[in-house]
Amino acid sequence: MSVISCENVVHIYHLDDDEVVALRGVDLQIAEGEAVALLGPSGSGKTTLLWLLAGLLRPSAGRLRVLDRDVGGLSTHALTRLRSRQMGIVLQNPARNVLPYASAAGNITFARRIGRAGRSARPIDELLDRVGLSEVARRPAGRLSGGEQQRLAVAIALAHGPRLLLADEPTSQLDLRSSERVIDLLKWANQQLGTTVVVVTHDPAVGDAFDRTLTIRDGRVGMEGRGGQEYVVVGRDGSVQLPPHVQEVLPPGSRAKVRLLAHGAELRRATE
Ligand SMILES: Nc1ncnc2c1ncn2[C@@H]1O[C@H](COP(=O)(O)OP(=O)(O)OP(=O)(O)O)[C@@H](O)[C@H]1O
């Protein structure tokens, strides 16, 4: 069953004298228990999609179901409750994920209480140990380094045993060793606790560690990776986004002949 279902989801930011179309029709399904990395160039719409999934933004158009709810139509109160009980969220800026005056351990305790931690919640010591922060457990979170706050953010997001973890660039400030710890923690949550994990990342190591990758380009899902294979995703209008190495042969604006084959189609650049 799908934990996330997007049908033709559009998001437009309205500025004073301008509009930015960040998502132009996202279609995707993510099943319970999957681990998915969202990849794509800067500005392609990854963070916008993650915020929509978290109910922090509302779609301008399209249908968006998350955790069996039509999140576009939920009240703010219902969204807050859904988020705090069933989701763990790691935002891009590490400092936004922690309470600066509470200790590292206190942050996790607070998240467990707010989220009404169930049986799948792990002990605080174990979470701190898994992100390598046992030694700073009593230190105020505001006095931790950016990288330590980022690791703490992942532990906080998992504190109450959420069904869905949404993380935006959770390894962006980490060295190799800390990054590996966070990736291990995400995989452990996915494989051992059954948490569905969706991570926005530029880090190839995160993409490699996940079963499935979705590449967002120009505000829609352009490519999908599964089992080590990369596929282009055909859009609603029949368009495909050619990968960069194919664009070297078929640059934008070039003409190509389309030939139907038994199990697909072939594109051949026009010679005249
Ligand atoms: N609050 C906002 N107001 C107006 N435009 C925005 C806002 N947030 C993002 N955008 C625009 O929406 C588009 C998608 O941005 P988004 O942050 O979702 O991309 P991204 O793929 O996450 O980028 P990055 O990898 O750089 O974080 C960009 O053109 C961006 O400039």
Does any ligand 1 atom lie closer than 6 A to the CB of residue 231? Answer: no
Cα–Cα–Cα angle for 181, 182, 184, nearest 5°?
65
Q: Are residues 150 and 58 in the same domain?
A: yes
Q: Which residues contact 146 (CB under 8 A, 6 or more apart)?
A: 94, 95, 173
Q: Whose C-alpha lies nearest to ligand 1, atom 2?
A: 13
Q: Do both 19 and 115 map to the same domain?
A: yes
pTM of the model: 0.93
Convert the pLDDT of each residue in 12-29 to its tens digit: 999 988 999 999 999 999
Q: Is 252 left (phi over 0), alpha (psi -120 to 50) or beta?
A: beta
Verify that 233 and 268 share a domain, yes or no: no
* Same domain as 246, residue 127: no
8 A C-beta contact, residue 91 and residue 98: no
11 lines ligand 1 (CB under 6 A): no
- In a shared domain, residues 230 and 264: no
**Ligand 1 neighbourhood includes 22 CB (under 6 angstroms):** yes
- Using the mean position of ligand 1's atoms as its centre, give its distance from the Cα of residue 47 in Å: 7
Q: Is 146 in the pocket of ligand 1 (CB under 6 A)?
A: no
Q: Which amino acid is at 109?
A: T
User: Does the beta carbon of 215 sit less than 6 angstroms from any atom of ligand 1?
Assistant: no
**Which protein residue's CA is at the shortest distance from atom 27 of ligand 1?**
42
Cβ distance 124 to 133 under 8 Å? no
- Pair 271, 165 in one domain: no
Atom of ligand 1 minimally distant from the CA of 20: 5
Which domain range does residue 259 map to? 242-272
Domain CATH code at residue 235: 3.40.50.300
- For the chain, what is the domain count? 2
Distance 168 CA to ligand 1 centre (A): 13
Q: What does the pLDDT look like over 126-185, one tens digit per residue?
A: 999 988 999 999 999 999 988 899 999 999 999 988 999 999 999 888 888 888 888 988
